[in-house]
Amino acid sequence: MKGLGKDYGTFTALGSLDLTILAGTCFGFLGPNGAGKSTTIKILTNLIRPSRGQAALFGVDVQRKPTQALRKVGTVIETPEFYGYLSPLEVLAYAGRLRGMSKAALAARSEAVLKTVKLTGWGDKRVDTFSKGMKQRLAVAQALLHEPDLLILDEPTSGLDPRGMAEVRDIVKSLKREGRTIFMSSHLLGEVTEVCDAAALIDHGKLLLQGTLDELAKRAEATLFQAVFLAPLNPDELVWIGGLPGVKSATDSGNGVVEIHLSGGPEVQAAVISAIVRSGLPLTAFRPVGTALEQLYLEQIKETAQ
């Protein structure tokens, strides 16, 4: 993606996005609702036209040669609706026949993908009787049908129950192990950290961060911690913690839990823990609030909101 942008009248849904996804990567595309994730994915899959810039898949321009660009791509965009009068097997046959799959390949792959998404036994039932979660599974199945080299998934776990979410994540992980390239949008940070190798964060149509998860984690040193004590601290003790070197603030959260905001990295963290232990305060736990990446995510989003 080079300088990719999309305007709706005076509203800029996507500013100017430069992003390259390396083959074999599972890439998480993070951002809150309305950040521009779906807009980007819709441009990539030729559902909408960009106002500026270029999107290419395997080096083929999506706008100029959409059929060529999308040939080796499987997509799940939002929760797609299917023709209610068809069964999952017929839906898969429709997609497979459009892609020129042979009857034998279609039969074998249909059975396999329905098994993968746990819809075996529902193959000949009409889709209009399906729940949202079942339709989402079918969407994943049709995306996998032709064994694509690239999967573009727009919030693939949306609408699924926790078990369904875990199953879809397992599918994505297994595809990643097979070496397929995955571009997955999500507003669930945990999902991205669990499944992806690299990620980009966008908000208000602007790219805020990008890199491998390791790079982002290094950049995202946790600064907000919870210190848990056996008993609630008195105000003097709280003020004392707040005055320790490297501590920006210390707030009582009740029940012996104090939220400590640090201004430094692991060294500051170690020094603060040592000081508390030496002081004799009954510390039972000291842990980051959420993940470091989560803190970075929230920090970045807060900055763009300001």
Q: Does 83 bind another protein (CB under 8 A)?
A: yes
Q: Of 28-36, 68-76, 168-176, 225-233, which segment contacts another protein by CB under 8 A?
A: 68-76
In the chain, where do the E strands start and end? 2-8, 11-17, 26-30, 52-54, 56-57, 60-61, 73-76, 150-154, 181-186, 198-203, 206-212, 224-229, 247-254, 257-262, 283-288
CA–CA dist 188, 174 (Å, integer): 19
Q: Does 58 bind another protein (CB under 8 A)?
A: no
Considering only residues 139-158, where is the footprint of another protein by CB under 8 A? 139, 142, 152
* Distance (Å) of CA 234 to CA 156, 173, 225, 231, 241: 48, 48, 19, 9, 11
Q: How far is the CB of 181 from another protein (least distance, A)?
A: 16
Q: Does 11 bind another protein (CB under 8 A)?
A: no
Residue type at 114 in one-letter notation: L
Q: Of 80-88, 185-193, 233-241, 287-295, which segment contacts another protein by CB under 8 A?
A: 80-88
Nearer to another protein, 69 or 241 (CB): 69
Do 40 and 15 form a contact (C-beta atoms < 8 A)? Answer: no
Pick the binder of another protein from 3, 18, 24, 47 (CB under 8 A).
47
Pick the binder of another protein from 20, 68, 102, 234 (CB under 8 A).
68
Considering only residues 155-214, where is the footprint of another protein by CB under 8 A? none
Pick the binder of another protein from 73, 106, 262, 293 (CB under 8 A).
73
Q: Of 16-24, 42-50, 202-210, 233-241, which segment contacts another protein by CB under 8 A?
A: 42-50
Q: Does 97 bind another protein (CB under 8 A)?
A: yes
Nearer to another protein, 150 or 293 (CB): 150
For 117-152, give one letter per residue: b (16+ CB within 10 A) or e: bebeebbeeebeebeebbbbbbbbbbbbbbebbbbb
Positive or negative: CA dihedral 111, 117, 122, 127: negative
Q: Does 270 bind another protein (CB under 8 A)?
A: no
Pick the binder of another protein from 9, 33, 98, 124 (CB under 8 A).
98
**What is the length of the chain?**
306
Q: Which two tokens stand for residue 111?
A: 């059975």
Vertex 11, ends 9 and 14: CA angle to 5°? 115
Do 50 and 61 form a contact (C-beta atoms < 8 A)? Answer: no
Q: Does 42 bind another protein (CB under 8 A)?
A: yes
Q: Does 48 bind another protein (CB under 8 A)?
A: yes
Q: Does 59 bind another protein (CB under 8 A)?
A: no
CA–CA dist 73, 146 (Å, integer): 9
Nearer to another protein, 90 or 259 (CB): 90
Binding site for another protein (CB under 8 A): 42, 45-49, 66-68, 70-71, 73, 75, 77-78, 80-83, 85-86, 90-91, 94-95, 97-100, 139, 142, 152
